[in-house]
Structure 1
Amino acid sequence: MHSGGSTARRRPRPTRTFVSLTGPAGNLGDALIRRGTLDWALGTSDELVAYVGGAPDVWLQQLGVPTDAIVLREKSSIARWLWMLATAPRRPVLVFEAGEVPLDRGNGLRELVFLAETLLVRLKRGIVVRPPRAVRAATQPSLWLHSTAAKASQFALWRDGTSRATTGGSRLAPDIGFAAGQRPGLLWDERDELIVSLRGKRPVPDKEWAEALKAFAAAHELRVRTVVQVREDEERARELATMLDGVFDEWGDRDAVAQEALVRERYDHARLVISDRLHVLILAALSGAVPVEVVADPTRKIADSFATIGLTGLSADAASLSPDEITAFLTKQLTRADEVRAAVAAAEARLDETEADIRSAIEAARA
């Protein structure tokens, strides 16, 4: 017999997943894609570490962050995040945020830190996941650092072809918001609303645009409603309701969870939703409404993102169209409901396959 008695095996240290989930609680679109990011991280390790920045408690509720997660807040906790990453057991998982990444001047240090985190996880033989993202205002050295970190990640996805080309990436994927699941909504013949939700920081649309929308709504017996998906757009929604002789749904004192439920219910009743915000249109499409961007001088963001799922021709520059042409454009979009539903279903299936690939890669790394 051994004098020390039987030896017990050491229990393996718990595996650990790190996920970044920052964002303002007043932006339902940000909550949508952060929730999708969290879904990809859940269940991949024994421990979940979530960095949420300065987000309030309602943000955790919106996203469904588990109560047993280690939640790190404010910039003061970044040092702890980095320490936990450095001391994590081998084969950790690091999941970055989905969404748009600014790479203008002043972001170089941030991108350098993200590159260091990526290389650290790879040295530990872990898995790095960058859900579908887009880049804007790309400058050096931020772009080089971001592109290098993406290439060092096992999963680096781009939600539009322009961002993929800018970074030298290879994998195109639908915006993660499309993974939220389709809603049945009302039957098409029962839908009786045209919903409008525009950015508050853009110029107010002109009278010709408003007259075109009113003529379209009247011709198709649709009630005009303005909704607020980003709190800072509330005053613009009020103005638009007045311009369009429509109904205004204020956000008011409602918390973000209740506001999201209300807005999504509104989309369930809409035939068309007009917006210059990408995730307004994604949520609208998930509810079976046809998403449309018809504003003056639109960016390529919405057109490029929907092109990734095979939907083109949803955007038009109102500044170059007469009121009759705007009305004709909107009327044409009404014929696309089945096309939109099919494209959204295919996008969700692609994202499900990607998530399955990620989980398989994590299991293989730890086998």
Structure 2
Amino acid sequence: MIVKPTQHVFAHLSGQDDNLGDSALRLAYLAALRGQGRHVHLHLGEATSDFMAGFAPATDLTVYNSRADWSAAEAATARPVLAFNAGEINPRTGHFPVLARAAECARALDAGGALIFAGIGIKNVDRLQGVAFDPVMREASVMSWRDLGSRDGAGFGDFAPDWAYSEGASVDDWAPATERPLIAVTMRFDRAWPGEEWLADVRAFAAATQTRIVTVAQVARDAPRAVHLASALGGEYVMPSSMRHDVLDEYVRGVYRQSLAVVSDRAHGLIMGATEGAYPIGSGSDPHKISRLLAAVGLGDLVGRYDQFGDFALRFETHLPTLAPAVNVARAEIADLTARIRAAMDAVA
């Protein structure tokens, strides 16, 4: 019996250290990269123990504190698989990736390996003038954006929903709407305060649906705003015992599993809520990004500015039945992306 040698996969999966959504989407990406006969070499940037808590130690993982050590290990590997970081990118005028990272990508292909770009999204697709995407991105084994706007802005590749849609409970296990007593509100700390009209509309929505308002922070910097919102909305700020990402993930999902809807301008607050059966209502001062990520799965109809919330509340009930089918389709599309990634890795194993 011929035993194949272990395949070595190199993934740089750094994210905002206090942002649960950043670790959640990367954990889903990591799951797609793992498998029998593979060993993943992981660099998480300058991550604290809170961020790293989501990445449980395992025999098929090696975590590097130093990017130089991680890069040297990749350079010394025959036919490596290089998985470019997922999540939001904000390319500036000039080269993307920067020349050193583009050379790293080219080296993996030149060594007979595979190059994976999967689940990346452009922060502002209207500000791409002067950005030159390196040709190595077009040569990648898999080149998949996380929304249509990013794909069209770049002008190449394909797209599939954000990795975080693949997580959460099976739709068959969701509590029915009649057994969801909460409305969850989680808002960014760095945006304009919503104002009295929005506050009144959210309170009226809770009254109309006979639910109770709770606020939660899945980004540590959002906690003061969550406390303030709870007071202004007549609700309750709920918080986990720790901001470690493994603890925080379990806690906020528990809140969303009891919620009829999640109201947020945080993309992954909306996505994680949706995967637990809470209908996502995107409401913010600048909703373009969240609109693209929800529209990618057919859930973009109730996403808009603060002053549109009252109209969304009136239309909410008619949209509720669309949630489960949308999440199922999103998960099927991510499963297809995962299959393509694994086929690309198998081709160079």
TM-score over 0.5 (shorter chain):
yes
Conserved? CA contact 2:114–2:140, under 8 Å? yes
Conserved? CA contact 2:144–2:158, under 8 Å? yes
Aligned mates of 1:264, 1:181 — CA distance in 2: 8
The question of 1:338 aligning with 2:321 is answered yes
Partner of residue 136 from structure 2, selected from 133, 137, 149: 149
Structure 1 residues 124-162: Cα deviation after superposition (integer angstroms, max 9, x where no partner): 121111111111355576x31x45232121111111222
Structure 1 residues 204-248: Cα deviation after superposition (integer angstroms, max 9, x where no partner): 110111011111211221101001111100000001001100011
Match of 1:308 in 2: 296
Match of 1:71 in 2: 63
Corresponding residue SS for 2:348: helix
Counterparts in 2 of 1:293 and 1:198: CA distance versus 1, 3 Å: same
Match of 1:159 in 2: 146
Conserved? CA contact 1:35–1:64, under 8 Å? no
Conserved? CA contact 1:29–1:229, under 8 Å? yes
Counterparts in 2 of 1:158 and 1:205: CA distance versus 1, 3 Å: same
Conserved? CA contact 1:147–1:169, under 8 Å? no
Structure 1 residues 236-262: Cα deviation after superposition (integer angstroms, max 9, x where no partner): 000100110001113564533212111
Match of 1:292 in 2: 281
Corresponding residue SS for 1:63: coil
Match of 2:334 in 1: 351
Match of 1:221 in 2: 210
Conserved? CA contact 1:37–1:97, under 8 Å? no
Match of 1:121 in 2: 108
How far apart are residue 46 of structure 1 and its match? 4.1
Aligned mates of 1:134, 1:153 — CA distance in 2: 16
Amino acid at match of 1:167: A
Match of 1:57 in 2: 49
Structure 1 residues 165-193: Cα deviation after superposition (integer angstroms, max 9, x where no partner): 22112301111111114343322111111
Aligned mates of 1:314, 1:65 — CA distance in 2: 39
Aligned mates of 1:284, 1:308 — CA distance in 2: 16
Conserved? CA contact 1:38–1:63, under 8 Å? no
Counterparts in 2 of 1:16 and 1:253: CA distance versus 1, 3 Å: closer
> Considering only CA atoms, is the larger Rg found in Structure 1 or Structure 2?
1
Q: How many residue pairs get matched?
A: 343
Conserved? CA contact 1:14–1:45, under 8 Å? yes
How far apart are residue 13 of structure 1 and its match? 6.4
How far apart are residue 82 of structure 1 and its match? 2.4
Aligned mates of 2:162, 2:67 — CA distance in 1: 27
Match of 2:345 in 1: 362
Q: Which runs of 5+ in 2 are unaligned?
A: none
Counterparts in 2 of 1:42 and 1:60: CA distance versus 1, 3 Å: farther
Match of 1:43 in 2: 35
The question of 1:80 aligning with 2:63 is answered no
Counterparts in 2 of 1:140 and 1:208: CA distance versus 1, 3 Å: closer
Q: What aligned pairs does 1:174-185 form with structure 2 within 5 A after superposition?
A: 174-183=161-170, 184-185=173-174
Counterparts in 2 of 1:140 and 1:303: CA distance versus 1, 3 Å: closer
Corresponding residue SS for 1:53: coil
Conserved? CA contact 1:147–1:167, under 8 Å? no
TM-score (norm 1): 0.87
Counterparts in 2 of 1:122 and 1:254: CA distance versus 1, 3 Å: closer
Aligned mates of 1:286, 1:109 — CA distance in 2: 32
Match of 1:195 in 2: 184
Conserved? CA contact 2:52–2:245, under 8 Å? no
Aligned mates of 2:235, 2:50 — CA distance in 1: 30
Aligned mates of 2:142, 2:206 — CA distance in 1: 44
Amino acid at match of 1:103: P
Conserved? CA contact 1:21–1:50, under 8 Å? yes
Counterparts in 2 of 1:356 and 1:12: CA distance versus 1, 3 Å: closer
The question of 1:103 aligning with 2:95 is answered no
Aligned mates of 2:123, 2:179 — CA distance in 1: 40
Counterparts in 2 of 1:65 and 1:168: CA distance versus 1, 3 Å: farther
Aligned mates of 2:49, 2:177 — CA distance in 1: 38
Conserved? CA contact 2:5–2:37, under 8 Å? no
Q: Identity of counterpart residues, as a percentage?
A: 29
Aligned-CA RMSD value: 2.2
Structure 1 residues 69-105: Cα deviation after superposition (integer angstroms, max 9, x where no partner): 22112xxx2222222222111x211112211011125
Q: Which runs of 5+ in 1 are unaligned?
A: 1-10
Corresponding residue SS for 2:304: strand
Counterparts in 2 of 1:127 and 1:165: CA distance versus 1, 3 Å: same
